[in-house]
Each structure stands twice: as C-alpha cells, then as structure tokens.
Amino acid sequence: MQYDFPDIKTVNASYSHKLHELIGVAGLQQDLRNKEQIDTDFGDNWATAKDWSEDSRYEWNICRTQAQSLRDAVTNPDSGVLAWLKNYW
C-alpha cells in the first residue's frame, strides 16, 4: 500500500480549488448532505462558501458585505464550513 501508485483521477481531483470536487475526493458527499439537512445554518454557510474559487481573490467587484459573508460562513464556530471540516482531520 505504501508504495502503490495513486489513481491519476484522484490525484488530479485533489489538485483542485473547487470545494465540491475536494468533498468528493475526501468521500464526504453524504456527510455534507446529512449536515445540510440537520443544520440549516450550516446549509446557508455552505451555499455561501461553495462557489468560492482561487480566482475570487482577484475580483475587484466584491463588496465588503460579500467578503464578510464568506468569512462568516467559513469561520462560524457552530455552523461554519471550517468547523465541520475539522471533524474529519
């Protein structure tokens, strides 16, 4: 197992900044759906964060409110995306 060559599709998907792809590679799709169903605040936060891309950081037309919403969606200690992901570290 240690010296097995990894599946190329998995490797390529791992080098993504697309959150849906990364959730898929990690095998967390069902856990994500379950969390969205039981925690509507998390569902709202996921909806806010999921469309972020590495190109988003270069967009000049993002207003302060949008930036704060993204930050809050990720960092909310109870229903934030990062708090949920930390359960799998």
Q: 1-44, pLDDT tens digit by residue?
A: 678 888 888 888 888 888 988 999 999 999 999 999 999 999 99
User: CB–CB of 19/50 below 8 Å?
Assistant: yes
Query: What are the start-end ranges of the E strands in 1-89?
Result: none
pLDDT tens readout for residues 38-86: 999 999 999 999 988 778 778 888 889 998 999 999 999 999 999 999 9
d(CA 89, CA 25): 14
Backbone angles phi, psi at 35, to 5 degrees: -65, -40
Tell me 50's DSSP state: T
